[in-house]
A and B are shown apart, each in its own frame.
Chain A
Amino acid sequence: MKEIMVVRVGVHPFGLDLIHIRGVYRSGDLQPADSKAVDASAYHLEGRKVDLFDLSRALVPDRARPDSFRRVILMDIRGRSVALGVNQIERVLNVEPDHIVPLPPVFTGKSRRWFPGVVMGADRLIPLLDPDTLMKAGAAEAELVRRLQLQVRADKMAEQMLDGIRRGVAAAMEREIDRLKRTPAATESEKAG
């Protein structure tokens, strides 16, 4: 028997092997890490820093994507952790090994990498998420968020520098205008003298 946690992402159920799941939390349990830190994409969960990967952003088309996830699943895979955002935890299924079958081979590429297997439930089919792919995708997204945040920070610094230059130029122009205003007066006084 295998224990499979069934989670809902958008409107569809997906399966996760329970063996990799360390805990289930509410989304409010996630505490953003120090926003001034370089890795501001990271969150604190259960006293440890983890990267968050919102599954609905990866699996659900834009038009059907829910506003936000409600549950967080902490997964440990080969010593690395990732927090998965899902919309709902349905239940844990005890599945006979022969009820987990490969995805038909006509599905190739990303579909196959993410869902190598399918759970044949009593009344429905549940694609089984591949933990290694999840881990890679989670790490890739975290890296992307980090880079974006670094870029935003660099943009802010550039904006501050530009702002400083603008103010400096404006002050210099004001001084120059003042000087020019004073210059004719001096000429008049010279004439008078």
Chain B
Amino acid sequence: MTTTLFRSPGKDAAVRQVLVIPARTPAGSWGKVFFMFVLRQVTEILRETAVRPVPFAPPHLPGIARWQGRVVPVLSLEGCLNLAPNEDPRPDRLVAVRTRNARVGAILKSDPGLRLIRPPTEARTADGDLGIPPPLIRGIYEWTEGLLIVPHLENILSGKYAI
């Protein structure tokens, strides 16, 4: 099935970009796995921030941080989405993101290999089952370099579907 990922016929279509973050999980037959965010969800890429651990939290929730006058969770998307972890000694990038309605924010501990790309105008919905609970994603698409996962930030941050 072919699904239109982005439909932006306006004059800014040529310059629209998305942020792609490599997932720190082993590659499968589908290739590597990436998370994708539209740029209006990405507020800032931080060099470092003070993370306050919260006792009893699972490893994919290393703590909370103050960001733009609010208390936001710091999290690893791989853990939140139940993807198998891949040990990576490289330092994290901290990506401040917000939900589409901009009400909730979070800081993602991410792979340093993140980059901006021009989004594919068409992509096939992936058939593979990565074991991700469906409410936590908006879609998984095949891409030239592997799979693109579009996380459902609102549902992830709501805690209703916690793993």
Q: Which A positions have Cβ atoms within 8 angstroms of B?
A: 12, 58-59, 101, 103-111, 114-115, 118, 120, 124-125, 127
B61 CB within 8 Å of chain A: yes
Interface centre among A107, A109, A127, by most chain B C-beta atoms within 10 angstroms, is A107
Of all chain A residues, which has the CB nearest B64? A125
Contact at B71–A118, with CB atoms within 8 Å? yes
B159: chain A residues within 8 A (beta carbon): 104-108
Contact at A106–B55, with CB atoms within 8 Å? no
B156 CB within 8 Å of chain A: yes
Q: How far is the CA of A124 from the CA of B156 in the complex (A)?
A: 25
Q: How far is the CA of A115 from the CA of B53 in the complex (A)?
A: 12
Q: How far is the CA of A104 from the CA of B104 in the complex (A)?
A: 9
How many inter-chain residue pairs (CB < 8 Å) link A and B? 64
Contact at B162–A106, with CB atoms within 8 Å? yes
Decide: A118 near B64, CB < 8 A? Known: A104-B157, A106-B162, A125-B71: yes
B75: chain A residues within 8 A (beta carbon): 106
Choose among A114, A118, A125 the residue that contacts B55 (Cβ–Cβ < 8 A). A114
Contact at B157–A105, with CB atoms within 8 Å? yes
Of all chain A residues, which has the CB nearest B104? A104
Q: How far is the CA of A59 from the CA of B54 in the complex (A)?
A: 9
Contact at B157–A106, with CB atoms within 8 Å? yes
Q: Which B positions have Cβ atoms within 8 angstroms of A?
A: 50, 52-57, 61, 64-66, 70-73, 75, 80, 104, 106, 156-159, 162
Contact at B71–A115, with CB atoms within 8 Å? no
Return the 8 tightest CB-CB contacts between A and B, nearest first.
A110-B56, A105-B159, A104-B73, A125-B52, A111-B56, A108-B162, A108-B159, A111-B57
Choose among B52, B53, B66, B73 the residue that contacts A106 (Cβ–Cβ < 8 A). B73
The majority secondary structure among interface residues of chain A is mixed
**Closest Cβ–Cβ distance, residue A87 to chain B (whole Å):** 15
Q: How far is the CA of A101 from the CA of B105 in the complex (A)?
A: 14
A127: chain B residues within 8 A (beta carbon): 52, 54-55
Contact at B65–A104, with CB atoms within 8 Å? no
**Closest Cβ–Cβ distance, residue A99 to chain B (whole Å):** 10
B162: chain A residues within 8 A (beta carbon): 106, 108-109
A120: chain B residues within 8 A (beta carbon): 66, 71
B80: chain A residues within 8 A (beta carbon): 106
Of all chain B residues, which has the CB nearest A61? B55
**Closest Cβ–Cβ distance, residue A59 to chain B (whole Å):** 5
Of all chain A residues, which has the CB nearest B70? A101
**Chain A to chain B contacts (Cβ below 8 Å), 15 pairs:** A12-B52, A103-B71, A104-B72, A104-B73, A104-B106, A106-B75, A107-B54, A107-B73, A108-B159, A109-B162, A111-B55, A118-B64, A120-B71, A124-B52, A127-B55
Of all chain B residues, which has the CB nearest A58? B55
Interface centre among B50, B64, B72, B162, by most chain A C-beta atoms within 10 angstroms, is B64
Contact at A106–B50, with CB atoms within 8 Å? no
Q: How far is the CA of A103 from the CA of B157 in the complex (A)?
A: 12
Interface centre among B50, B71, B73, by most chain A C-beta atoms within 10 angstroms, is B71
**Closest Cβ–Cβ distance, residue A95 to chain B (whole Å):** 14
Contact at A103–B66, with CB atoms within 8 Å? no
